[in-house]
Amino acid sequence: QKEVEQDPGPLSVPEGAIVSLNCTYSNSAFQYFMWYRQYSRKGPELLMYTYSSGNKEDGRFTAQVDKSSKYISLFIRDSQPSDSATYLCASLNRDDKIIFGKGTRLHILP
Amino acid sequence: DAGVIQSPRHEVTEMGQEVTLRCKPISGHDYLFWYRQTMMRGLELLIYFNNNVPIDDSGMPEDRFSAKMPNASFSTLKIQPSEPRDSAVYFCASSFTYSLSTYEQYFGPGTRLTVT
Protein backbone atom coordinates (compact mmCIF):
# COMPACT_ATOMS: atom_id res chain seq x y z
CA GLN A 1 0.00 0.00 0.00
CA LYS A 2 1.38 3.39 -1.00
CA GLU A 3 1.83 5.68 1.99
CA VAL A 4 -0.22 8.53 0.51
CA GLU A 5 -2.99 7.79 -1.99
CA GLN A 6 -5.33 9.97 -3.99
CA ASP A 7 -7.71 9.56 -6.89
CA PRO A 8 -5.97 10.67 -10.12
CA GLY A 9 -9.14 12.13 -11.61
CA PRO A 10 -9.63 14.04 -13.79
CA LEU A 11 -12.20 15.96 -11.81
CA SER A 12 -14.23 18.46 -13.83
CA VAL A 13 -16.42 21.05 -12.12
CA PRO A 14 -18.13 24.24 -13.31
CA GLU A 15 -16.68 27.61 -12.43
CA GLY A 16 -17.88 28.87 -9.05
CA ALA A 17 -18.48 25.41 -7.60
CA ILE A 18 -16.92 24.13 -4.40
CA VAL A 19 -14.18 21.60 -5.09
CA SER A 20 -13.32 18.80 -2.72
CA LEU A 21 -10.02 16.96 -3.17
CA ASN A 22 -9.15 14.04 -0.94
CA CYS A 23 -6.28 11.80 0.10
CA THR A 24 -5.73 8.94 2.48
CA TYR A 25 -2.53 8.04 4.23
CA SER A 26 -1.41 4.82 5.85
CA ASN A 27 0.95 5.77 8.66
CA SER A 28 -0.73 7.04 11.81
CA ALA A 29 2.59 8.62 12.88
CA PHE A 30 2.39 11.26 10.14
CA GLN A 31 1.89 14.71 11.64
CA TYR A 32 2.53 17.25 8.87
CA PHE A 33 0.38 17.38 5.79
CA MET A 34 0.74 19.50 2.71
CA TRP A 35 -1.04 20.35 -0.50
CA TYR A 36 0.99 21.25 -3.57
CA ARG A 37 -0.43 22.63 -6.81
CA GLN A 38 1.22 21.79 -10.12
CA TYR A 39 0.34 23.54 -13.35
CA SER A 40 1.00 21.77 -16.62
CA ARG A 41 4.72 21.58 -17.44
CA LYS A 42 5.67 23.34 -14.22
CA GLY A 43 7.10 22.25 -10.89
CA PRO A 44 4.84 21.78 -7.86
CA GLU A 45 4.32 24.75 -5.54
CA LEU A 46 3.24 24.61 -1.91
CA LEU A 47 -0.33 25.72 -1.35
CA MET A 48 -0.91 24.96 2.29
CA TYR A 49 0.37 22.86 5.15
CA THR A 50 -1.26 21.70 8.36
CA TYR A 51 -0.06 20.10 11.52
CA SER A 52 -1.97 17.24 13.13
CA SER A 53 -5.75 17.38 12.95
CA GLY A 54 -8.10 20.23 12.24
CA ASN A 55 -8.74 22.87 9.63
CA LYS A 56 -6.64 25.61 8.13
CA GLU A 57 -8.03 28.31 5.90
CA ASP A 58 -6.24 30.56 3.42
CA GLY A 59 -8.47 32.65 1.22
CA ARG A 60 -10.59 30.36 -0.93
CA PHE A 61 -8.65 27.28 0.21
CA THR A 62 -9.31 25.15 3.28
CA ALA A 63 -7.17 22.18 4.28
CA GLN A 64 -8.63 19.60 6.63
CA VAL A 65 -7.02 16.64 8.37
CA ASP A 66 -8.94 13.87 10.10
CA LYS A 67 -6.35 11.72 11.87
CA SER A 68 -8.93 9.24 13.15
CA SER A 69 -9.72 8.19 9.60
CA LYS A 70 -6.32 9.14 8.09
CA TYR A 71 -8.05 11.42 5.64
CA ILE A 72 -6.75 14.69 4.15
CA SER A 73 -8.97 17.11 2.27
CA LEU A 74 -8.57 20.33 0.33
CA PHE A 75 -11.63 22.48 -0.37
CA ILE A 76 -11.64 25.25 -2.96
CA ARG A 77 -14.50 27.75 -2.77
CA ASP A 78 -15.65 29.83 -5.71
CA SER A 79 -13.46 27.81 -8.06
CA GLN A 80 -11.87 29.66 -10.98
CA PRO A 81 -10.50 28.42 -14.32
CA SER A 82 -7.05 29.42 -13.02
CA ASP A 83 -7.44 26.69 -10.36
CA SER A 84 -7.19 24.07 -13.10
CA ALA A 85 -4.07 22.10 -12.21
CA THR A 86 -2.91 18.88 -10.59
CA TYR A 87 -3.14 18.89 -6.81
CA LEU A 88 -0.68 16.75 -4.86
CA CYS A 89 -1.25 15.87 -1.25
CA ALA A 90 1.82 15.04 0.79
CA SER A 91 2.97 14.13 4.23
CA LEU A 92 6.23 14.35 6.11
CA ASN A 93 7.37 10.92 7.25
CA ARG A 94 9.44 10.13 10.32
CA ASP A 95 12.64 10.42 8.27
CA ASP A 96 11.69 14.03 7.40
CA LYS A 97 11.06 13.10 3.78
CA ILE A 98 8.00 14.37 1.94
CA ILE A 99 5.87 11.53 0.62
CA PHE A 100 3.66 12.67 -2.24
CA GLY A 101 0.43 11.26 -3.60
CA LYS A 102 0.25 10.85 -7.37
CA GLY A 103 -1.96 13.90 -7.73
CA THR A 104 -5.54 14.66 -8.80
CA ARG A 105 -6.08 16.52 -12.06
CA LEU A 106 -8.68 19.26 -11.69
CA HIS A 107 -10.45 21.05 -14.54
CA ILE A 108 -12.60 24.10 -13.82
CA LEU A 109 -15.01 24.61 -16.69
CA PRO A 110 -15.76 28.28 -17.57
CA ASP B 1 15.37 35.71 -6.89
CA ALA B 2 15.02 33.72 -10.10
CA GLY B 3 13.90 30.60 -8.29
CA VAL B 4 15.36 27.15 -8.80
CA ILE B 5 16.98 26.89 -12.22
CA GLN B 6 17.26 23.62 -14.10
CA SER B 7 18.90 22.79 -17.39
CA PRO B 8 18.27 21.52 -19.91
CA ARG B 9 14.47 21.83 -19.97
CA HIS B 10 14.20 18.99 -22.47
CA GLU B 11 16.60 16.19 -23.24
CA VAL B 12 16.20 13.49 -25.84
CA THR B 13 18.89 10.85 -25.95
CA GLU B 14 19.49 7.34 -27.13
CA MET B 15 19.69 4.35 -24.87
CA GLY B 16 23.19 3.84 -23.52
CA GLN B 17 24.16 7.50 -23.61
CA GLU B 18 25.20 9.50 -20.57
CA VAL B 19 22.76 12.17 -19.41
CA THR B 20 23.61 15.03 -17.06
CA LEU B 21 20.92 17.19 -15.51
CA ARG B 22 21.83 20.44 -13.78
CA CYS B 23 20.33 22.47 -10.97
CA LYS B 24 20.99 25.82 -9.36
CA PRO B 25 19.11 26.14 -6.05
CA ILE B 26 17.75 29.34 -4.56
CA SER B 27 20.54 31.34 -2.96
CA GLY B 28 20.69 30.77 0.79
CA HIS B 29 18.84 27.48 0.74
CA ASP B 30 20.73 24.70 2.48
CA TYR B 31 18.70 21.69 1.31
CA LEU B 32 18.59 20.40 -2.25
CA PHE B 33 16.38 17.59 -3.49
CA TRP B 34 16.20 15.60 -6.72
CA TYR B 35 12.82 14.08 -7.66
CA ARG B 36 11.54 12.04 -10.57
CA GLN B 37 7.93 12.22 -11.74
CA THR B 38 6.12 9.68 -13.91
CA MET B 39 2.46 8.95 -14.48
CA MET B 40 2.83 5.48 -13.02
CA ARG B 41 4.81 6.25 -9.89
CA GLY B 42 4.08 9.93 -9.25
CA LEU B 43 6.71 12.15 -7.65
CA GLU B 44 9.55 10.19 -6.06
CA LEU B 45 12.45 11.51 -4.03
CA LEU B 46 15.75 10.28 -5.42
CA ILE B 47 18.32 11.96 -3.19
CA TYR B 48 18.75 15.03 -1.03
CA PHE B 49 21.65 17.12 0.20
CA ASN B 50 22.13 19.31 3.24
CA ASN B 51 24.93 21.87 3.08
CA ASN B 52 26.27 20.10 -0.04
CA VAL B 53 26.50 16.73 1.71
CA PRO B 54 24.34 13.82 0.48
CA ILE B 55 22.05 12.81 3.33
CA ASP B 56 19.82 10.13 1.88
CA ASP B 57 20.22 8.46 -1.51
CA SER B 58 17.92 5.53 -0.80
CA GLY B 59 15.60 6.63 -3.59
CA MET B 60 18.24 6.39 -6.30
CA PRO B 61 16.99 3.48 -8.41
CA GLU B 62 20.30 1.93 -9.38
CA ASP B 63 24.03 2.46 -9.64
CA ARG B 64 23.49 4.04 -13.03
CA PHE B 65 22.27 7.13 -11.19
CA SER B 66 24.64 9.44 -9.37
CA ALA B 67 24.34 12.95 -7.95
CA LYS B 68 26.84 15.52 -6.82
CA MET B 69 26.75 18.93 -5.20
CA PRO B 70 30.24 20.45 -5.47
CA ASN B 71 29.12 23.77 -4.00
CA ALA B 72 26.08 25.52 -2.56
CA SER B 73 24.92 26.84 -5.92
CA PHE B 74 25.18 23.81 -8.19
CA SER B 75 24.15 20.19 -8.36
CA THR B 76 24.11 17.52 -11.04
CA LEU B 77 22.20 14.30 -11.53
CA LYS B 78 23.88 11.88 -13.92
CA ILE B 79 22.51 8.76 -15.55
CA GLN B 80 25.05 6.48 -17.17
CA PRO B 81 24.09 4.49 -19.19
CA SER B 82 20.56 5.74 -19.78
CA GLU B 83 17.65 3.39 -20.49
CA PRO B 84 14.15 3.99 -21.92
CA ARG B 85 12.61 3.39 -18.48
CA ASP B 86 14.48 6.44 -17.20
CA SER B 87 12.18 8.64 -19.29
CA ALA B 88 10.47 11.00 -16.85
CA VAL B 89 10.42 14.57 -15.65
CA TYR B 90 13.23 15.24 -13.20
CA PHE B 91 12.72 18.02 -10.69
CA CYS B 92 15.19 19.77 -8.47
CA ALA B 93 13.91 21.52 -5.35
CA SER B 94 15.53 23.51 -2.60
CA SER B 95 14.50 24.64 0.85
CA PHE B 96 15.68 26.52 3.88
CA THR B 97 14.47 24.46 6.76
CA TYR B 98 14.89 26.01 10.13
CA SER B 99 11.90 24.31 11.69
CA LEU B 100 9.59 21.53 10.68
CA SER B 101 6.56 23.78 10.89
CA THR B 102 7.70 25.71 7.84
CA TYR B 103 8.91 22.82 5.73
CA GLU B 104 8.51 24.22 2.23
CA GLN B 105 10.33 23.11 -0.88
CA TYR B 106 10.66 25.30 -3.97
CA PHE B 107 10.67 23.33 -7.18
CA GLY B 108 12.36 24.12 -10.45
CA PRO B 109 10.56 23.80 -13.80
CA GLY B 110 11.89 20.29 -14.36
CA THR B 111 13.84 18.54 -17.10
CA ARG B 112 11.78 16.34 -19.39
CA LEU B 113 13.99 13.38 -20.30
CA THR B 114 13.18 11.04 -23.14
CA VAL B 115 15.41 8.03 -23.73
CA THR B 116 14.76 6.25 -27.03
Over the stretch B13-56, which tens digit does the pLDDT of each residue have?
A: 999 999 999 999 999 999 999 999 999 899 999 999 999 999 99
- pLDDT score, position B113: 98
CA distance A104 to chain B (A): 11
The pLDDT score that the predictor gives to residue A97 is: 81
pLDDT at res. A32: 87
- CB contacts of B43 in chain A (<8 Å) are 44, 88, 100, 102-103
Q: Among residues 26-45 of chain A, which lie with CB inside 8 Å of chain B?
A: 32, 34, 41-45
Confidence of residue B103 (pLDDT cuts 50, 70, 90): low
The percentage of chain B sitting over the pLDDT mark of 90, rounded to a whole number, equals 80
Chain A positions in Cβ-Cβ contact with residue B54 (cut-off 8 Å) = none
Burial class (CB in 10 A: 0-12, 13-18, 19+), B99: exposed
DSSP A15-52: TT--EEEEEEES-TT--EEEEEEE-TTS--EEEEEEES
Among the partner residues A32, A96, A100, nearest to B42 by beta-carbon distance: A100
Residue-level pLDDT at B101: 46
Q: Which residues of chain B make contact with A5, given a CB cutoff of 8 A? A: none
